[in-house]
Amino acid sequence: MKQNFGSFVKKESLHILRDKRTMLGVMLIPVMLMTLFGFAISTEVNNINVAVVASEHTDGVHDAVERLSHNEYFTFKGYISQDEIDPCLRSGKAGAVVVFASDYDRRAEQAAAGIATKPVIQLIVDASNVNTAGSATAYLQNVLLGAASQQAMFETRMLFNPQMRSAYNFVPGIMGLIFILVCAMMTSVSIVREKEVGTMEVLLVSPVRPVKIIFAKMIPYFAISCIVLVTILLLARYLLEVPMSGGVGGIFSLSLLYLALSLSLGLLVSTIATTQMAALLISAMVMMMPILMLSGMLFPIENLPEFFQVVSNIVPARWYIDAVRKMMIQGLPLVAVWKNCVILLGMTVAILGISLKKFNDKLE
Amino acid sequence: MSAIDVHSLSKSYGKVRALDGVSFAVEHGELFGLIGPDGAGKTTLFRLLTTLINPDEGSATVDGLDIEKDYLSIRKRVGYMPGRFSLYPDLSVEENLQFFAALFGVTVEESYDLIAPIYKQIEPFRTRRAGKLSGGMKQKLALSCALIHRPSVLFLDEPTTGVDAVSRSEFWDMLADLKERGITILVSTPYMDEAKRCDRIALCNEGRILGIDTPTGIVQGFDKPLYSISAKNMFALLERARREEGVEDCYPFGEKHHLVASAGFDEERFKAALADVEGVEIVSAEPTIEDMFIKLMRR
Buried b (16+ CB within 10 A) or exposed e, A260-275: bbbbbbbbbbbbebee
- Of A32 and A146, more confident: A32
Distance separating alpha carbons of residues A139 and A146, to the nearest angstrom: 11
Residues in chain A whose beta carbon is closer than 8 A to a beta carbon of chain B?
1, 3-4, 7-8, 11, 14-15, 18-19, 197-199, 201-208, 362-364
Give the ipTM. 0.86
- Among the partner-chain residues A4, A15, A198, the one whose CB lies closest to the CB of B103 is A4
Selected residue with higher pLDDT from B162 and B22: B22
Per-residue pLDDT averaged across A203-212, rounded?
A: 86
pLDDT digits (tens, 9 = 90+) for B163-217: 888 989 999 999 999 999 999 999 999 888 899 899 999 999 999 999 999 999 9
Partners of residue A203 in chain B, C-beta under 8 Å: 103
pLDDT in tens, B52-93: 999 999 999 999 999 999 999 999 999 999 988 889 999 999
Range with the lowest mean pLDDT among A86-90, A273-277, B242-246?
A86-90
Query: In percent, how much of chain B has pLDDT > 90?
Result: 76
First CA to last CA distance, chain B: 33
Looking at the structure, do residues B171 and B239 belong to the same domain, yes or no? no
Q: In angstroms, how far is CA A319 from the centroid of its own chain?
A: 13
CB contact under 8 A, B85 and A198: yes
Q: Name the residue among A65, A41, A69 with its Cα closest to residue A129.
A: A41
| Confidence at residue A102, expressed as pLDDT on a 0 to 100 scale | 78
Stated pTM of the model: 0.79
> At residue B145, does pLDDT exceed 50?
yes
Nearest chain B residue (CA) to A196: B86
Both B206 and B232 in one domain: the answer is: no
Higher pLDDT, B109 or B84: B109
CATH of the domain at B36: 3.40.50.300
* Same domain (yes/no): B49, B183: yes
Identify the closest residue of chain A to B70 by CA–CA distance: A207
Indicate if B158 and B233 belong to the same structural domain.
Answer: no
The closest alpha carbon to A102, from A73, A81, A129, belongs to: A81
Residues B183 and B85 in one domain: yes
* Burial class for B176, CB neighbours closer than 10 Å (0-12, 13-18, 19+): middle
Do B79 and B154 touch, CB atoms closer than 8 A?
yes
The set of residues, in sequence order, having a beta carbon less than 8 Å from that of B5 and lying 6+ positions away, is B25, B26, B60, B61
Give yes or no: residues B83 and B160 share one domain.
yes
Q: What are phi and psi of B83, to 5 degrees?
A: -60, -40
Residues of A in contact with B100 (CB under 8 A): 202
CA-CA distance, B177 to B109, in Å (whole number)?
20
When computed from its CA atoms, the radius of gyration of chain A, rounded to whole angstroms, is: 27
| Nearest Cα residue to A193 out of A214, A208, A209 | A214
Q: Which of B220, B248, B271 is the last residue of a domain?
A: B220
| A152/A351 Cα distance (integer angstroms) | 55
Residues B17 and B80 in one domain: yes
Same domain, B124 and B24: yes
d(CA A25, CA B245): 73
* Percent over 90 (pLDDT), chain A: 16
Is the pLDDT at A60 greater than 90? The verdict is no
Query: Which residues in chain A have their CB less than 8 angstroms from residue B72's CB?
Result: 207
C-alpha to C-alpha distance for A105 and A148, rounded to whole angstroms:
9
CB A98 within 8 A of CB A122: yes
Q: In terms of residue numbers, what domain contains B268? A: 226-297
Q: To the nearest whole number, what is the mean pLDDT of chain B?
A: 92
Region A314-322 average pLDDT? 90
DSSP string, B48-101: HHTTSS--SEEEEEETTEETTTTHHHHHHHEEEE-SS--S-TTSBHHHHHHHHH
Chain A residue numbers with beta carbons less than 8 Å from the beta carbon of B78 are 205
Average pLDDT, integer, range B238-251: 90
Please indicate, yes or no, whether residues B160 and B142 belong to a single structural domain of this protein.
yes
Of A201, A206, A362, the CB nearest to B104: A206
Q: Rounded to the nearest 5°, which phi and psi values hold at A27?
A: -80, -35
Q: In CATH, what number is assigned to the domain containing residue B289?
A: 3.30.70.100
Q: Which residue has the higher pLDDT, B188 or A332?
A: B188
CB B251 within 8 A of CB B292: no
DSSP conformational letter for B207:
T
The DSSP annotation for B108-161 comes to TTTTHHHHHHHHHHHGGGTTSBGGGS-HHHHHHHHHHHHHTT--SEEEESSTTT
d(CA B236, CA B173): 42
Radius of gyration of chain B (CA): 22
**Average confidence (pLDDT) over A301-322:** 88
Q: Residue A89 forms beta bridges with which residues? A: none
Both B246 and B118 in one domain: the answer is no
- The reply to whether residue A207 touches residue B75, judged by beta carbons under 8 angstroms, is yes
Residue B193 distance to chain A (closest CA, Å): 28
Closest C-alpha among B160, B170, B221 to residue B192: B160
Last residue of a domain, one of B198, B220, B242: B220
Residues of B in CB contact (< 8 Å) with A are 47, 50-54, 71-72, 75-76, 78, 80, 82, 84-91, 95, 98-100, 102-105, 145
Residue A153 has pLDDT above 50, yes or no: no
> Which span out of A151-165, B144-158, B230-244 was modeled with the highest average pLDDT?
B144-158
Ranking A2-6, A310-314, B106-110 by mean pLDDT, the lowest is A2-6
Q: What is the mean pLDDT of residues A37-53?
A: 72
pLDDT at A42: 56
Per-range mean pLDDT, top range of A26-30, A35-39, A88-92, A215-219:
A215-219
Single out the residue in B186, B220, B254 at which a domain terminates: B220
Quick check: A363 and B53 CB within 8 A?
yes
B278: how many CB neighbours lie within 10 A of its CB? 11
Q: What are the angstrom distances between the C-alpha of A82 and each of A51, A60, B280?
A: 11, 19, 103
- Same domain? B190 vs B262: no
Residues B191 and B292 in one domain: no
Structurally, chain B folds into a number of domains equal to 2
